Amino acid sequence: GVDLALRLTAIRDPKRFPEQVNRQGVQRIRDEAARLRRMVGDKPALSPGGMASGLSRPDRVAAQGR
């Protein structure tokens, strides 16, 4: 499985993360997060896992809202 919390820690502070981090990848993630934050505001209703799920399967999330 994937430890989402571990990855979020690496994105939050790559210098303190014990493993090597792809800095360009982190910057792309931060840029995308800023773009999404502008769309939803500062206090999203979903947890980080919920947001990741919605971004990965938007068709299923939309179907649940019907």
Which residues have CB under 8 Å from 36's CB, separation 6+? 51
Q: Give 21-58 pLDDT, tens digit per residue.
A: 999 999 999 998 888 888 777 676 777 777 777 777 76
CA distances (Å), origin 27, targets 3, 34, 57:
20, 11, 23
Question: Residue 2: phi, psi to the nearest 5?
Answer: -105, 130
In angstroms, the CA 26 to CA 66 distance is 35
Q: Supply the pTM of this predicted model.
A: 0.57
The per-residue pLDDT for 63 is 67
